[in-house]
Structure formats: structure tokens, C-alpha cells
A and B are shown apart, each in its own frame.
Chain A
Amino acid sequence: MGERRLLRGNEAIAESAIRAGCQCYFAYPITPQGELVEYMARHMPRLGRTFIQAESEVAAINMVYGAAGAGVRTMTSSSSPGISLKQEGISYLAGSNLPAVIVNVVRGGPGLGNIAPSQCDYFQAVKGGGHGDYHMIVLGPSTVPEAGELTMLAFDLADRYRTPVMILADGLLGQMMEPVELPEPIDVSQLPPKPWAATGARGREPNIILSFDLGPENLKKMNLDLQAKYDLIRKHEVRYEETQTADAEIIVVAYGTIARIAKTAIDMARAEGIRAGLFRPITLWPYPYDALRAVADRVKTVLTVEMSAGQMWEDVRLAVAERAKTPFYGEMGGIVPTPKGILSEVKKHAR
């Protein structure tokens, strides 16, 4: 049986990682995800698992590389500036086909920015971030319980596809408290074996973890294999949620915390007689282009709302193309759009 607890988003992610069998967690403290690090510091050692407060985010992601290469479930977490530092390691994880979970509790940027909620790291998360032709699976939870569920899923997807998976949250979700129904911890011994891992070459040929090949033809092959994997992920792992889109004339596209606020705005619009709906991508990579396109075929307007200057908006326009109008409403610097603010944008564009 599961267990119901009142948790912050940061704590729900931490507790779910533990229940997902995360054996090794490495991180460097940064606001607004400090509670995640502190939760792991309290709980991992008493479970006989590894917690290291690393000397830097660079070191933390490379410890993740080592633990992932050695075949255990592993995670790191940080916030925007720290995630920038991890990009080198994420590229190596992707290139070496290593499963790992990376949490980004996004704060305002660029530079030092501030510690208020933001969605300004969308491009970095879904378009690459580090060097090379790679992707991560990127999951965007919009509630605390969903942050927990997607963390459990992140570990499964990472193992299934041998790829880094990012939980893209924001400072609001990290700090917010909600009741969470926690699942039973998984039995790590029942997880599928990882015969590729570096565990000691006893009675077999050595396993080599690497992202390196000097031969152009070989490196091209490695890249084509990666791309084939990404095609498989695009085919099987797209996730999204539609709310009141069936009869909608205008839909709002939003993810994460903003989707939740937009849901309230949709209800307010409906109360005023505007047939509004919500399309919420859950996987930000792979992005639900096809599903959004199908919705766009039925509506006049697709309004994107984000806490950024319009990053996901680019993917919305890629999906919608000329099928509908694609206005944008964004806030930056830690300003969180309110239901009334979104409602007024909906009213403006629904006419």
C-alpha cells in the first residue's frame, strides 16, 4: 500500500527517487531546490545508499556518470545556473548511452538571475544544452503529486532507453506543498539487468562506457544509433493532457505550474461563455507536435502562456503552423502569470 504525505515538490521528487530505487545521489546546494538536497542527505545514508554533497555541479554530474556507468540508478538535481554547469556531463551521458535522472528546479535567468520561479531553461532542456546531436527525455510536472509520479517514470524511461531524463520543474512547484500518495518502493533486485554496465569483467569481455570514436564513419554510426533511439522515444513516449478541448474555439498551451494556473483561467473563461480549452504537454521532449496539431485543426486560436520570453512558443508554432492564430503571453523575472492575467489574454484573443 502507498502512503499519503504532505510534501513540497522538492521533497516529493526526492522521496519518489528513493522509492524508484535511486542508489546514488550527488548534488551541490542551490536555491530553490535546497530541500531536495537536504531530504536526500537525511534519508539516503540511513538506507545504506550514497549521498555526496559534491564540490560542484560539474563534479556531481560526473559522479552520476560513474554511478550510471556502474549500473545503478542515480540522480542529481540543481537549479538553472547549476544545470548550465552540468551540460558537459549531460552530453557525455547522452553520448555514452547512460541512464540518469537530472532535476532542474528552474529559477530566473540569465546569469545569476534570481531565485524566483521561471521556465526560462526550456530551450536548454529540450533543444540540447550541451554539445552534440543529442536529446534528453524532458518531463514537465504541473503538481506536486505529478512531480512524484514523473520522477518514478523518469527512472524507468532512463533505464529503458539508456538515456538521461530531465524533470523540468520550477521554483513554485519545488516549494509548494500538497498531499502526495506515495507508491510502494520498487524492489531494485527485480529491475532488468544491465549487462552493458562496467561492473568488473568477470567471465566476459570488458564493457567499455564511452562517447568517443576518432573514425568519422564510426562516429556517424554512433550518431545514427542515437537518432534511431530518439525516433523510438518519439514514437512511444509522447505524453500530454487535454482539458475541455473537444468544443474549444481557443486553447491555451502551457506546461508545468503555469498549466495549472491556466486551468483555472479556462474555467473562468467558460463561466463567461468563452469556449476555452487547455493543452498541456507532459513530455517537453519528445514534444506532442501531432496531438497539438490535431487540436489546432479544430480551433481558431492557440495561445501559448509561459514564464519565459517565448521558448516553448517556438514548438507550438512548429506544431500549429498556419492552422490557427498563435499569440503568446509570457512573464519573466519570477513574475508568475495569474488566472486573471491569463483570462484577459484569452478574452483578448478569443474575439
Chain B
Amino acid sequence: MPVDTARMTKVFSRPQSLTEARLTYCPGCHHGIITRIIGQTLDELGLTERTIGIAPVGCAVFAYLWYRCDALQVAHGRASAVATGVKRARPDRIVFSYQGDGDFASIGTAESIHAANRGENITVIFVNNQIYGMTGGEMAPTTLVDQRTTTTPEGRDPLLCGYPIRFSELIAQLEAPVYVTRQALYDTRHIMDCTKAIKKAFQNQVDGRGYSLVEVLATCPTNWHMSPVQANQHVANTVTKVFPLGDLVNKGA
């Protein structure tokens, strides 16, 4: 029996800040949830027309297509440096970079740390899914010990490849950052928490408070060889043991 929705309250719809483009991510990939949260945040804070996004290399390479914002697609790992350049050139605009674990915590290590250390007034969304999705499931700096990837076919051996890097903890050692947090999306409560964190990270920039980093533990069902629901459980039961959730820095909270 069809219901007349015209007489009902719309409690959830696509954020206005998102374009009509369909996301290119695999089924169940958390990138899409993060994209929606950012769009909703831009809506709620009224920032769409003054925001400039930085799209990385990796699965999110098309991030410039998702938002009704100006954007720059940039070289692998350099998003925080480019964000620095944009923000210094246009201090009254809102600049966010969207970076995967390979981008932010491997090839872009220097750019990531030093943008944070300068306390650039930017918002960084760091998506940690412990794998290189776009290139075919290779090891990421965040890959768990014993996790099988296409470049650690027998599992990550810490004696050969080191341990998963807790990059947000490194950033949290620095004086300048005002907000460093690790969030997850494996259930609705955590999705709501992550939404609050991302909103705060943008609000900090609006208020001119400085560098904010939101690390999001995300899934890669395709390269983890799990169903999206199994992947959520894996984050809840295993990944969060290595990457504990919560605020690492929250100045003046």
C-alpha cells in the first residue's frame, strides 16, 4: 500500500552539497558514508560556496566530483601541502583534504606531519582502511600484522614490513593541532559520533582555531574479501584493538 509521503516529514535525504554524480566506490565501501557526512556537514554549516576540497590519489581520486565545491585533484600524498597553499592564498575560504592511508600516512608522511606541525587552519579527513584499494589490495602502512594483502600474500610480517602505523598518534604528539580524533562507521552510533567529529573539525576551521584531523576507520570489503556486514564486524572486533577510537587531542573542548 503506497503511502503519501507528501504529508510526512522528510527525516533523511541526500545532502544538498553533494552533486548528482553516483559514487564510484565498491558496494558497502565506507568512503561513501564519509562523503555523505562531509556533504551534510557543509549543508549544516552553510559552507558549500566557500569551501575548496582537495582530492587525493587512490580510491577517492574522483572526490572532486562529489561536492558542489571547487576542488583540486592533486599528486599522491601531497594533499596537505596543496591544502596549505590554497588556505594561505585564500585564508577566508574553508579548505579540506580527503586522504587515504597510503596518501596520508605513507607517501605523504612529510607533507602530512608538517602541515599539522605548522597548525595550518585546515580540516583533514584521513580514511584508514588498512589497504591500497585502487591499485589492487596491496599493503598499506596501516595494514594489520598477519593481514593478507596482494603484497603480503602470507600476511604482514612485522619483521619484514614493520607494524601498522598509528599516524594520528604521531600527529597528536605535535603542539599545534587542536583536534585529532579517530572514529569508525561500523554501526549507527559510531556513524553519528563520526558525524559530530567531522562537523567539529570543520567548525574549528570556521572559528580559525587551527589544524583538525579526523581519522576514520573504514572498510574495504572488496580487498578484504568480506561482505560489507562482515567487514563492519572486523572493524568492531579487530581493527579497533589496533587503532583505538576516540579523541587524541581536543583542545578547548
Q: Which 3 residue pairs spanning A and B have beta carbons closest together?
A: A66-B85, A63-B85, A210-B73
Please tell me if the beta carbons of B89 and A58 are within 8 angstroms of each other in the complex: no
Which stretch, B61-69, B125-133, B160-168, B188-196, touches the partner chain A? B61-69
Known A59-B78, A209-B73; contact A70-B110, beta-carbon cutoff 8 A:
no
- Collect the chain A residues with CB atoms within 8 Å of residue B73's CB: 96, 208-212
Cβ of B111 under 8 Å from chain A: yes
B window 61-106: CB within 8 A of A:
61, 64, 67-75, 78, 81-90, 93
- In the complex, the chain A residue whose C-beta lies closest to that of B65 is A208
B212 at the interface (CB under 8 A from A): no
**Which A residues are CB-close (under 8 A) to B78?**
58-59, 62, 65, 89
Q: In the complex, what distance in Å separates the CA atom of A203 from the CA atom of B61?
A: 25
B89 contacts A71, C-beta separation under 8 Å: yes
Question: What are 10 contact pairs spanning A and B, CB under 8 A?
Answer: A24-B89, A59-B114, A66-B85, A72-B89, A74-B85, A88-B75, A96-B73, A208-B64, A210-B72, A211-B73
Q: Which of A69, A96, A207, A212 has the most CB of B within 10 A?
A: A69
- Which of A47-55, A103-111, A272-280 lines the interface with chain B? A47-55
Q: Which residues of A, 49-94, contact B by the 8 Å Cβ criterion?
A: 50, 52, 54-56, 58-60, 62-72, 74, 88-89, 92
Nearest Cβ in chain B — how far from A351, in angstroms?
54
Q: Which of B54, B55, B68, B85 contacts A26 (CB 8 A)?
A: B85
Q: A69 is contacted by which of B61, B69, B72, B75 (Cβ under 8 Å)?
A: B72
Minimum distance in angstroms from A61 CB to a CB of chain B: 8
A42 at the interface (CB under 8 A from B): no
Does B169 count as interface, using CB distance less than 8 angstroms? Answer: no
Q: In the complex the two chains form, what is the Cα distance from A46 to B81 in whole Å?
A: 23
User: Which residues does chain B contribute within 8 Å of A68, judged by CB atoms?
Assistant: 85
Whether, in the assembled complex, B152 has its beta carbon less than 8 Å from a beta carbon of chain A, the answer is no
Whole-angstrom distance from the CB of B58 to the nearest CB of chain A?
12
**Is B52 an interface residue, CB under 8 A from the partner?**
yes
In the complex, whether B51 has a CB less than 8 A from a CB of chain A is yes
Nearest chain B residue, comparing its CB with the CB of A198? B70
Q: Which residues of chain A come closer than 8 Å to B48, judged between CB atoms? A: 201
15 A-B pairs besides A66-B87, A202-B49 with CB distance below 8 A are A55-B111, A58-B78, A59-B84, A62-B111, A66-B84, A66-B89, A71-B90, A74-B85, A92-B75, A198-B72, A199-B52, A200-B52, A201-B49, A206-B68, A212-B61
Total residues of chain B contacting the partner, CB 8 A: 35
Interface range for A: 35 or more
Tell me which of A200, A203, A210 contacts B93 (CB under 8 A).
Answer: A200
Q: Any chain B CB within 8 A of the CB of A151? A: no
Instruction: Return the contact of B89 from the options A67, A201, A209 (Cβ within 8 A).
Output: A67
Chain B residues 119-171 with CB under 8 Å of chain A are none
In the complex, which residues of chain A have a beta carbon less than 8 angstroms from the beta carbon of B82? 62-63, 65-66, 69
A65 to chain B, nearest CB (A): 5
Closest Cβ–Cβ distance, residue B134 to chain A (whole Å): 12
CB distance from B67 to the nearest CB of A (A): 7
Given A198-B72, A208-B70, A208-B71, A70–B86 Cβ distance below 8 Å?
yes
Within 8 A of A (CB), among B12-54: 48-52, 54
Given that A201-B69, A202-B49, A212-B61 are known contacts, is A63 also in contact with B81, CB under 8 Å in the complex?
Answer: yes
Contact in complex: B74, A65 (CB < 8 Å)? yes
